[in-house]
Structure 1
Amino acid sequence: MLNLDEIKKPIAAELDTFEGKFKASMQSSVPLLDRITHYIVKRKGKQIRPMFVFFSASLCGGITEATHRGAALVELLHTATLVHDDVVDNSYERRGFFSINALWKNKIAVLVGDFLLSKGLLLSINNNDFELLKIVSEAVKQMSEGELLQIEKARRLDIDEEIYYEVIRQKTASLIASCCACGAASAGADAETVEKMRLFGEKVGIAFQIKDDLFDFGTDAIGKPLGIDIKEKKITLPLIYALNKSSRSERRRIINLVKNHNEEADKVSEIIDFVRQSGGMDYATKQMESYQDQAFNILKDLPAQSSRDALEQLVRFTTERKK
C-alpha cells in the first residue's frame, strides 16, 4: 500500500507552514472559542485536502501565498460543515474523538460552525481572493444540496444509480474538486486549466466515495465496523447494483430489511451477504477504477512533472486506503 508520508514529502515543508497559518486563521478573542478551535486543530486528519490544493498549485504554476489561503479556506468551510453535520446527525464521535456537540452541546457547536464559516469568508475577502471564494462557496452549496437530495430520496429508498452519482458528486466530490480548482487558480492558471483540475478532482471524489461504500461490506476496512451505512439506511452503489439484479420479490424483501432492521446484527449481515453474492462489490470496484482512470486521463493533458506523479500517487492512495 502507498505510504502517505512518502507521497507528501515534496510538500512537507509547505504543509507544516500551512498548519501554523490554518491555526492562526481560527484565532479569536473569546477564550471558549480558542479552546474549541485548539481541539479541532489537535485532532486534524491526514491532510489529504490541503495536499490536493498544494500539488494542484505546484502542477499549474507553483505554490503561492494564495495557495496557503485557498487551503485554509477549504479547511475552514469544510470543518464548519462537519461541525454542523454532527449536530444534524446527532453524532457524538468523529474520527475516534468526541465531536464538538458531544463536548460543548448543540448550541455552541452551531455557533462554532458559523464562526468558522465567517472566518473563511473574511480570509478571502480581506485578501481579494474572490475567485477562490467563489470556487469553495459553490462546493459548499453543492454539499448542502447533495445532503438534502439524499435525505429526500432515503425516505422512500428509491435511489437509482443516476441519483446516487448526483448525490455523491455534490456531497463528496464537489469538495475535492474545489481543492484542485483552488490550487490551480491560486497558481495563476487560466480558466480552462482551472476547470480541468476541478473536473479531475470531481472524478477523484467520486472514486473516493465508492471506496468508502465498499468498506461497508468488508473490503479491507480497518477501523470501520461493517454495515454502518446500512444501519443509517443509506443506499450505496454495491447495494443499488445488487437490488437491480434481483427479482421483484427479493428486492422488496431486502428493502424491507434495510428499512426495518433496527440494527439487528443478523439482519444487517443478511443484507451484506446479499450484496456480496449478487456481485455488488465487484461492480462498484470496477466503477471506482473507471473514475480513477478518467481522473488520470485528465492529468495526461497537463505537463509531465513530479507534481503530476505525486497527484497520481495521492489518487491511488485514496482508492487503496484501508480506512
Structure 2
Amino acid sequence: MLTLDVIQEPIAEHLKRFEKTFKASMQSSVPLLDRVTQYILKRKGKQMRPMFVFLSAGLTGDITESTYRGASLVELLHTASLVHDDVVDNAYERRGFFSVNALWKNKVAVLVGDFLLSKGMSLSVKHDELNLLKIMSDAVEEMSEGELLQIEKARKLDIKEPIYFEIIRKKTASLIASCCACGASSAGASEETINRLHLFGEKVGIAFQIKDDLFDFGVDDVGKPVGNDVKEKKMTLPLILALQETDQKEKRRIINLVKNHNEDRAKIAEVVEFVRSSNGLEMATERMLQYQKEAFDILAEFPDSVYKTGLEQLVRYTTERSK
C-alpha cells in the first residue's frame, strides 16, 4: 500500500522548509496564544494539503516563494476551521488528543481560530498575493455554507444524493480544490490551468470524503466508533444509497432509528447492519472510484513528471488509506 513518505519524496525538501515557514507564520507576542499554537503544531496532521499545493505547483510550473506562502495560507485557514469545528461540534478530541476547546475552553478556541484566519489573510496581503487570498476566501465561504446546509438538512433527515454531493463538495472538496488551485497560481499558470487543477482537487476531495463515510460502517479501523456518523444524525452516502434501494416501510423504520434512537448503541448497530446488507458500501465505493477516475482523467492532460506521478499516488492514497 502507498504511504505518504513515498509520495512526499519529490517534494521532501520543500516540505521540510515549509514546516519552518509555517511555524514562523503562527508566532505572536501573546504568551497564551503561543502556548496554544505550539500545542497545535505538535499535533499536526499528515500535511496532505501542503502536498497538494507543492505537487500542483511543480506540475504546472516552478515551485516558488509564492508556493510556500500558498501552502502556509492553506494550512492556517484549514487549522482555523478545525479549531472552530471542534467548538461547533462540542468535540473534545482531535486525532486522539484533547482539542483546543477542551483544554482552554470555547472562548480561547474561537479567538485562536480567528487569529489563524487573520494571519493567513495578512500573509497574502503583505506579499500582494490577492490571487491566493481570493482562492482561499472562496473555499472558506463554501466550507461554511456546506456546514450550515448539513445542519439544516440533518433536522429533517431528508438528504438525497444530489444534496449530499453538494454538501461534501462545499464542506470538504472545496479545500482540496483550493490547494491545487493555489499551487498552480503560485507557479504562474494560466487561468484555464488553475481552473482545471481546481476541478481536479474537487474530484479528489469528494472521493476523500466518501472514503471517510465508508470508514464509519466498519470498512477499516480508524480509531473512531463504528456508526459515529449515525449517532450524530449524519446522512452519509452509504446510508443514502442503501435507503434508495429499500421499500418505504423499511426506509421509515431506519430513518426513525437514526432520528430518535441515535444514542442507543444496539439501534446504531442495526442501522450499520442495514447499510452493510443493502449494498450501501459497494454502491458508495463505486461512486468513490468514479470520482477517482475523473480526477485521473484531468491529470492525464498534463505532461509526465515526478509531480504528476506524485499527484496520481496521492489520489490513490485518498481512496486506499486505512485511516
Instruction: Provide the residue aligned with 2:269 in structure 1.
Output: 269
Kindly provide the amino acid, as one letter, of the partner of residue 164 in structure 2. Answer: Y
Shift of 1:62: 1.4
Instruction: Provide the residue aligned with 2:73 in structure 1.
Output: 73
Structure-to-structure mapping, 1:226-265, within 5 angstroms: 226-265=226-265
Q: SS of 2:29's equivalent?
A: coil
Structure-to-structure mapping, 1:1-323, within 5 angstroms: 1-323=1-323
Shift of 1:262: 3.8
TM (normalized to structure 1)? Answer: 0.99
Shift of 1:224: 2.5
CA distance in 2: counterparts of 1:19 and 1:234, whole angstroms: 35
Shift of 1:221: 2.8
Kindly provide the amino acid, as one letter, of the partner of residue 99 in structure 2. Answer: S
Which string of whole-angstrom CA distances, capped at 9 and with x for unpartnered residues, describes residues 11-33 of structure 1? Answer: 11110100110000011000110
Kindly provide the amino acid, as one letter, of the partner of residue 6 in structure 2. Answer: E
Q: Give the direction of change, closer, same or farther, for the CA distance of 1:37–1:149 in structure 2 (3 Å limit).
A: same
Q: SS of 1:101's equivalent?
A: helix
Q: SS of 2:302's equivalent?
A: coil
Shift of 1:81: 1.0
Which string of whole-angstrom CA distances, capped at 9 and with x for unpartnered residues, describes residues 50-100 of structure 1? Answer: 000000001010110000000000110111111111111111110011101
Shift of 1:265: 1.6
Which string of whole-angstrom CA distances, capped at 9 and with x for unpartnered residues, describes residues 218-271 of structure 1? Answer: 112332321110010000001001111111110000000001124222111100
TM (normalized to structure 2)? Answer: 0.99
Question: Do the aligned partners of 2:230 and 2:262 also contact (CA within 8 Å) in 1?
Answer: no
Question: Do the aligned partners of 2:262 and 2:268 also contact (CA within 8 Å) in 1?
Answer: no
Gaps of 5+ in 1: none
Kindly provide the amino acid, as one letter, of the partner of residue 38 in structure 1. Answer: Q
Count of residues in correspondence between the two structures = 323
Gaps of 5+ in 2: none
Q: SS of 2:66's equivalent?
A: helix
Q: SS of 1:322's equivalent?
A: coil
Q: SS of 1:255's equivalent?
A: helix
Percentage identity across paired residues of the two chains: 69
Which string of whole-angstrom CA distances, capped at 9 and with x for unpartnered residues, describes residues 102-125 of structure 1? Answer: 000111111101100100000000
Farther-moved stretch of structure 1 (257-266 vs 199-208): 257-266
Q: SS of 2:226's equivalent?
A: coil
Shift of 1:305: 1.1
Kindly provide the amino acid, as one letter, of the partner of residue 313 in structure 1. Answer: Q
Kindly provide the amino acid, as one letter, of the partner of residue 104 in structure 2. Answer: W
Kindly provide the amino acid, as one letter, of the partner of residue 160 in structure 1. Answer: K
Shift of 1:45: 0.5
Kindly provide the amino acid, as one letter, of the partner of residue 290 in structure 1. Answer: Q
CA distance in 2: counterparts of 1:288 and 1:225, whole angstroms: 22
Kindly provide the amino acid, as one letter, of the partner of residue 214 in structure 1. Answer: L
Q: SS of 1:189's equivalent?
A: coil
